[in-house]
A and B are shown apart, each in its own frame.
Chain A
Amino acid sequence: DIQLTQSPSFLSASVGDRVTITCRASQTINSDLAWYQRKPGETPKLLIYAASTLLTGVPSRFSGSGSGTEFTLTIGSLQPEDFATYYCQQYNSYPLTFGGGTRVEIK
């Protein structure tokens, strides 16, 4: 199985900060990576697929990059509604696997 390691697992940031989350795969997955946002009490919402393609309606302050084994999710200027847990997920091979999550909290 492909393991996905997210870092950090927790970060504390202020509104307006630039935030970067990393997701490392245990083997190459090309660009077959998605990012999800999960707010407390809600289900995950897909933000990005194919490593860098934003879903329609996702604010442009979110961006994704990377290929192979190293990927990043960047929030250009953190907004109050962005405080949530973020997960990466690979779909290069079965079983689909998720990273352990990065919780973004208000400083």
Chain B
Amino acid sequence: QVQLVQSGAEVKKPGASVNISCKTSGYDFTSYYIHWVRQAPGQGLEWMGRISPGGGFTTYAQNFQGRITMTRDTSTSTFYMELTSLRSEDTAIYYCARDYRPIGVAYNYLDPWGQGTLVTVSS
């Protein structure tokens, strides 16, 4: 079955960077966009951006422009999201999620989701 398995929890100091991985399996890696979404404590879901599996083309939310980089490793079917210049407001659970429909059919509604990675930013 389709699985998205994320890396473990991270604790970072303000100003540091975090790199979260999302290993995918159970489907054709080249056929679906991957998105990143976060949820801060007591807050709603916030979309961060998406990446294409083939060419690695990215679309980022303006809120994260300049601080976010999404990449993928086609040899391991793994996606990565790096967020730099961390601040306390970046404390959140970060999720990767796959487009429900394949590329060329429809985009931007998400299922399934990875299990989430807690990132805590604290001095």
Contacts and interface: CB of A to CB of B under 8 A. Distances in A.
Interface string B52-63: 000000010111
Contacts of B97: 43-44
B45 A43 contact: no
B95 interface: yes
Contacts of A43: 95, 97, 112-116
Interface centre among B44, B59, B62 (most CB of A within 10 A): B44
Contacts of B115: 43
A40 interface: no
A9 B85 CA distance: 33
Contacts of B45: 44, 87, 89, 98, 101
B29 interface: no
A95 B61 contact: yes
Given A44-B111, A101-B44, 19 more contacts: A34-B110, A43-B97, A43-B113, A43-B115, A44-B45, A44-B110, A45-B112, A46-B109, A49-B106, A55-B100, A89-B45, A94-B61, A95-B61, A95-B62, A96-B47, A97-B47, A98-B47, A99-B44, A101-B45
Shortest 9 CB-CB contacts between residues of A and residues of B: A91-B108, A46-B111, A43-B113, A34-B109, A95-B61, A98-B45, A96-B47, A49-B109, A100-B44
Interface of B: 35, 44-47, 59, 61-63, 95, 97, 100, 106-116
